[in-house]
Amino acid sequence: MAKLVRTDEETMLADSARGFLDENAPVSHLRRMRDAGQIFDRTLWKQMAEMGWTGILVPEECGGSAMGHSAACVLAGEMGRTLVQSPFISTAVIGATVYASVMDTRSRDALAAIASGDMIVALAMDENAKFDPERIDTKAEKVGNGYRISGTKRLVLGGVSADRLMVLAQTENGPTLFEISPDSQGVARDGLQMIDSTDAADIRLDAVEVDGDAVLGALGGAMDVLEPALRAGQAALAAEMTGLAGGAMAMTVAYLKDRKQFGVPIGAFQALQHRAAHLWCECEVTASAVLNAGRLLDEDPDNAQMAVSLAKARATDTAQLAVREGVQMHGGIGMTDAFDMGFFMKRARVAAEWLGDYGYHANIVAQARGF
């Protein structure tokens, strides 16, 4: 059984990441970006690359550190704590895992570009309001030595800034994953105005022509390369949401210590102490679930789905609890845009839906347990 405490190396990585993000990407940075209409800070992304974060899952021969999924979850958790707006999960986790599963010449070049911070990747998969990998209406028709792809992909996170799109389409051989340039003729990106200012777009593909080399993996074998990448992304997203919950809780506890009523801090009121203690317990249990998911992805990835789904379901529930309690215990100020708690609430809502909501992952856990 995996040991559910951080190793010394993971603790050092977390401390280093926290110091960097507190200085360079606090929540106030997100506010400035939102007010300026900015969805992506490329300078910050390059700084992350220089620190080795973008290559956390990239093999060493491609310029990465190959530190593993547990380390990726550590970084994602720290980013969640300050609501960092970046393509870390879509590119450094999902994209890197797909390319590492293929490992041909094109993939090696892509991995090197990810590690250096020169390539941003977005996964264009969903076609309706809910995460459903089995539903693929986008068609890839065989034309000569290539394919003609048509369809619409919804809520593609990172879709506006992406340099490469990984598009899931149905071919005569079955579901197939294609790498497409967003600048290709027939590709249209419709940027979405998200409540949390996340970079997201609907991608329209109108008879986009690609050659046979655009296939990632084997024809009809999309899930062979996608499933490991989705598990990695779900675990990292769970870690980010757990960090988000911790950030919201820290803000709330600080307010309980500072705000006074009847001449004493409101944190002295037993009812609020009980609620804060309950939230702390939920955050700790969820952090253990995330650690377990990261360990299993590193040690036994083929059998990690239940652990990953458990982590994502718990993280979704815990993040929602943290932001609800944060708003309520702050009182009226918690509902105002002038206070940062609203940013945590909005990010928690968007993250809850991406890569499978609570019901999707709870169902996987229930089925695995025989219910």
**Domain residues of the chain, as ranges?**
8-119, 123-220, 223-368
Beta strand extents in 29-184 (DSSP E only): 121-124, 139-143, 146-157, 164-171, 174-180
| Measured distance CA(115)–CA(9) in Å, rounded | 20
Looking from the CA of 41 toward its CB, the CA atoms found within 13 Å total: 20
**What number is the average pLDDT over the span 246-257?**
91
Nearest one of 232, 226, 287, 229 to 69, comparing CA atoms? 232
At 271, which amino acid appears?
A
Judge if 8-119 and 123-220 fold alike in CATH terms: no
pLDDT band at 3 (very low <50, low <70, confident <90, very high): low
pLDDT band at 255 (very low <50, low <70, confident <90, very high): confident
**What number is the average pLDDT over the span 183-204?**
93
- Helix, strand, coil shares of the chain, percent, nearest 5, are 55, 15, 30
Q: Residue 170: what are its φ and ψ, rounded to 5°?
A: -95, 125
> What's the confidence (pLDDT) of residue 223?
93
223-368 falls under which CATH superfamily?
Butyryl-CoA Dehydrogenase, subunit A, domain 3 (1.20.140.10)
> What's the confidence (pLDDT) of residue 368?
86
pLDDT band at 260 (very low <50, low <70, confident <90, very high): confident
Answer whether 276's CB lies under 8 Å from 267's CB. Answer: yes
Which listed CATH number (3.30.70.260, 1.10.540.10, 1.10.15.40, 3.30.2130.10) goes with 8-119?
A: 1.10.540.10
Tell me, what DSSP letter sits at residue 60?
Answer: G
> What's the confidence (pLDDT) of residue 307?
95
| Measured distance CA(58)–CA(54) in Å, rounded | 8
- Whole-structure pTM value: 0.94
Beta bridge pairs of residue 208: 149
Beta strand extents in 53-145 (DSSP E only): 121-124, 139-143
The answer on pLDDT for 1 being more than 70 is no
Answer whether 291's CB lies under 8 Å from 70's CB. Answer: yes
pLDDT band at 263 (very low <50, low <70, confident <90, very high): confident
Question: Does an H or E element contain 262, and which?
Answer: none
Task: Give per-residue pLDDT as tens, 206-225.
Answer: 999 999 899 999 999 999 99
Answer whether 69's CB lies under 8 Å from 230's CB. Answer: no
> What's the confidence (pLDDT) of residue 2?
47
| Measured distance CA(32)–CA(336) in Å, rounded | 16
Task: Give per-residue pLDDT as tens, 33-50.
Answer: 999 988 889 999 999 999
Percent of the chain with pLDDT over 90: 80
> What's the confidence (pLDDT) of residue 264?
87
| CATH, range 123-220 | 2.40.110.10
Task: Give per-residue pLDDT as tens, 328-362.
Answer: 888 877 778 888 898 999 999 999 999 999 999 99
Cβ neighbour number for residue 233 with a 10 Å cutoff: 27
Nearest one of 367, 267, 253 to 310, comparing CA atoms? 367
Task: Give per-residue pLDDT as tens, 61-76.
Answer: 999 999 999 999 999 9
| Measured distance CA(306)–CA(31) in Å, rounded | 36
